[in-house]
């Protein structure tokens, strides 16, 4: 879905313009922004750009990078490490990792399992509603309850013995492999304009997750090294000659 920079339904003309440039794989320039978006506020360009950058980071996982200070030229970089936006679909789509990280954050803060109502409560605040197409994600419910489930970033399960049926979200295996509780907490902290340590219990859980991941990586490296050593000795033995 390619954006139209003249679309009156966008969240903000400046955000819309920057995202349009991202989709067209074109750099963002100060001259273009002043000419097409913020003509009346030229003296506040850098403040406006900073605010737009914060929104782009939280909503889309995009980082605004200055590549030519002399000519005020900027590019957008997908800063999140999730591979969802790297899959070979329409490479001009708006990144959706920001929405995914938000959902992962809700799940984390609700005890690693969030009801459908809890997830939609926050998504509604972001302007995303089930059944209502959005220029970020298309139809949001399809994105989170189908696409991200099929991609194994989320698990969407019926609550046992619920009548009428209720559903809940959990982290999927790809989310556990490609991001961490600490990274998700950092996103949540930015949403609340604070730091991760402002949420002590979540921060402690995120630290435990960091430690567990480090130990798992160390064990995997040790296992790989041991296997390589065994293979090396076996090969050396096969070439040795008896006296």
The DSSP-derived string for the chain is ----TT-TTSS-HHHHHHHHHHHTT--EEHHHHHHHT-GGGGGGHHHHHHHHHHHHHHHH-EEEEEEETTTTEEEEEE----SGGGSSS-TTSPP-HHHHHHHHHHHHHTTS-EEHHHHHHHHHHTT--TTS-BTTTBSHHHIIIIIHHHTTSEEEEEPTT-SS--EEEEE-HHHHHH--HHHHHHHHHHHTTS-GGGSHHHHHHHHHHHHHHHHHHHHHHHHHHHHHHHHHHHHHHHH----
Residue ending a domain, choose from 78, 104, 133: 78
Number of domains in the chain: 2
* Residue 216 covered by a domain: no
- Shared domain check, 99 and 74: no
* Residue 141 covered by a domain: yes
pTM of the model: 0.69
Residue 63: give its domain's CATH number. 1.10.10.1200
- Shared domain check, 103 and 74: no
- Shared domain check, 28 and 57: yes
Residue 88 has pLDDT above 50, yes or no: no
Residue ending a domain, choose from 31, 49, 78: 78
* Residue 236 covered by a domain: no
Q: What is the pLDDT of residues 9-54, one digit of tens each?
A: 344 677 777 887 877 788 888 888 888 777 677 788 888 888 888 7
Mean pLDDT of 99-112: 92
- Shared domain check, 67 and 94: no
* Residue 61 covered by a domain: yes
Residue 92 has pLDDT above 60, yes or no: no
Domain with 187, as residue range(s), is 86-197
Of the pLDDT bands very low, low, confident and very high (cuts 50, 70, 90), residue 4 is: very low
Residue 218 has pLDDT above 60, yes or no: yes
């Amino acid at each position: 879905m390619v954006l139209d920079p003249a679309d009156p339904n966008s969240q903000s003309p400046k955000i819309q313009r920057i995202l349009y440039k991202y989709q067209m794989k074109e750099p963002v320039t100060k001259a273009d922004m002043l000419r097409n978006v913020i003509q009346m506020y030229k003296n506040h360009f850098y403040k406006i750009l900073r605010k737009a950058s914060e929104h782009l980071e939280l909503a889309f996982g995009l980082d605004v990078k200055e590549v030519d200070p002399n000519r005020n030229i900027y590019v957008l970089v997908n800063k999140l490490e999730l591979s969802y936006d790297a899959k070979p679909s329409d490479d001009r789509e708006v990144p959706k990792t920001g929405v995914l990280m938000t959902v992962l954050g809700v799940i984390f803060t609700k005890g690693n399992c969030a009801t459908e109502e809890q997830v939609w409560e926050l998504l509604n605040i972001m302007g995303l509603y089930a059944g209502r197409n959005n220029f970020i994600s298309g139809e949001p419910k399809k994105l989170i309850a189908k696409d991200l489930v099929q991609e194994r970033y989320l698990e969407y399960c019926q609550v046992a013995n619920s009548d009428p049926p209720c559903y809940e979200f959990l982290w999927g295996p790809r989310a556990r492999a490609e991001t961490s509780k600490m990274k998700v907490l950092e996103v949540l902290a930015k949403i609340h304009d604070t730091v991760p340590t402002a949420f002590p219990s979540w921060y402690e859980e995120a630290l435990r997750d960091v430690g567990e991941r480090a130990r798992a990586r160390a064990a995997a490296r040790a296992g790989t090294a041991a296997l390589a050593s065994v293979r090396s000795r076996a090969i050396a033995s096969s070439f040795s000659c008896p006296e």
